[in-house]
Structure 1
Amino acid sequence: MDGRDWKKFLIPYEQAVEELKVKFKTLRSELKTREQYSPIEFVTGRVKRISSILEKAKRLSVPMEQLETGIEDIAGIRIMCQFVEDIERLAEIIRAREDMTVLYVKDYINNKKPSGYRSYHIIVEFPVQTALGMKRVLAEIQLRTLAMNFWATIEHSLNYKYRQSLPEEVVNRLSKAAEAAYLLDQEMSSIRHEIMEAQELFEDMSNIVNKLMDGIQQLYFYHRVREAAHFQLRFNELWDSNDVWLLKELSNQVDEAISRAKKST
Structure 2
Amino acid sequence: MKLFRNELTRFMMTYKFGLDEINTKLKILKEEFQHIHDYNPIEHMKSRLKSPESILNKIYRKDLELSLDSIRDNIHDIAGIRIVCSFVSDIYKISEMIQKQEDIAVVDCKDYIQNPKPNGYQSLHLILTIPVFLSDRVEAVNVEIQIRTVAMDFWASLEHKIYYKYEKDIPQDLSSELKDAAKVATELDYRMEKLHKQMKEIKEEEMMKDNENLLELDDNKFHLPLSLLESFLKK
TM normalised by structure 2 equals 0.77
Please list the CA deviations of residues 178-231 of structure 1 after superposition, one character each: whole Å capped at 9, or x if unmatched: 1111111111111113566899xxxxxxxxxxxxxxxxxxxxxxxxxxxxxxxx
Asked if structure 1 preserves the Cα contact closer than 8 Å seen for 2:9 and 2:52, the reply is: no
Counting only pairs closer than 5 Å after superposition, residues 6-45 of structure 1 correspond to structure 2 as 6-45=8-47
Q: Does residue 102 of structure 1 match 2:103?
A: no
Question: Identity, % of aligned pairs?
Answer: 39
Asked if structure 2 preserves the Cα contact closer than 8 Å seen for 1:108 and 1:117, the reply is: yes
User: What is the alpha-carbon root mean square deviation over aligned residues?
Assistant: 2.2
Asked if structure 1 preserves the Cα contact closer than 8 Å seen for 2:109 and 2:127, the reply is: yes
Change in 2 beyond 3 A, CA 1:170/1:27: same
Residue segments in structure 2 that go unaligned for 5+ positions in a row: 204-235
Query: Highest relative contact order (Cα 8 Å, sep 6+), 1 or 2?
Result: 2
Partner of 1:156: 160
**Structure 2 residue matching 1:41: 3-state secondary structure:** strand
Partner of 1:114: 118
Asked if structure 1 preserves the Cα contact closer than 8 Å seen for 2:5 and 2:52, the reply is: no
Asked if structure 1 preserves the Cα contact closer than 8 Å seen for 2:120 and 2:182, the reply is: yes
Change in 2 beyond 3 A, CA 1:145/1:55: same
Letter in structure 2 aligned against 1:88: Y
Asked if structure 2 preserves the Cα contact closer than 8 Å seen for 1:151 and 1:178, the reply is: yes
Please list the CA deviations of residues 2-23 of structure 1 after superposition, one character each: whole Å capped at 9, or x if unmatched: 7332322211112222222121
Partner of 1:57: 59
Matched length: 199
What is the alpha-carbon distance in structure 1 between the residues aligned to residue 136 and residue 157 of structure 2? Answer: 37
Partner of 1:91: 95
Q: Does residue 168 of structure 1 match 2:172?
A: yes
What is the alpha-carbon distance in structure 2 between the residues aligned to residue 195 and residue 141 of structure 1? Answer: 30
Please list the CA deviations of residues 128-152 of structure 1 after superposition, one character each: whole Å capped at 9, or x if unmatched: 1234432111110110001111111
What is the alpha-carbon distance in structure 1 between the residues aligned to residue 145 and residue 76 of structure 2? Answer: 10
**Structure 1 residue matching 2:102: 3-state secondary structure:** coil
Letter in structure 1 aligned against 2:92: E
Partner of 2:189: 185
Please list the CA deviations of residues 159-182 of structure 1 after superposition, one character each: whole Å capped at 9, or x if unmatched: 222232222222112111111111
- Larger CA Rg, structure 1 vs 2: 2
What is the alpha-carbon distance in structure 2 between the residues aligned to residue 132 and residue 62 of structure 1? Answer: 29
Residue segments in structure 1 that go unaligned for 5+ positions in a row: 200-265
Please list the CA deviations of residues 42-62 of structure 1 after superposition, one character each: whole Å capped at 9, or x if unmatched: 221000133332333334333
**Structure 2 residue matching 1:35: 3-state secondary structure:** coil
What is the alpha-carbon distance in structure 1 between the residues aligned to residue 35 and residue 166 of structure 2? Answer: 45
TM normalised by structure 1 equals 0.69
What is the alpha-carbon distance in structure 2 between the residues aligned to residue 157 and residue 51 of structure 1? Answer: 21
What is the alpha-carbon distance in structure 1 between the residues aligned to residue 22 and residue 149 of structure 2? Answer: 19
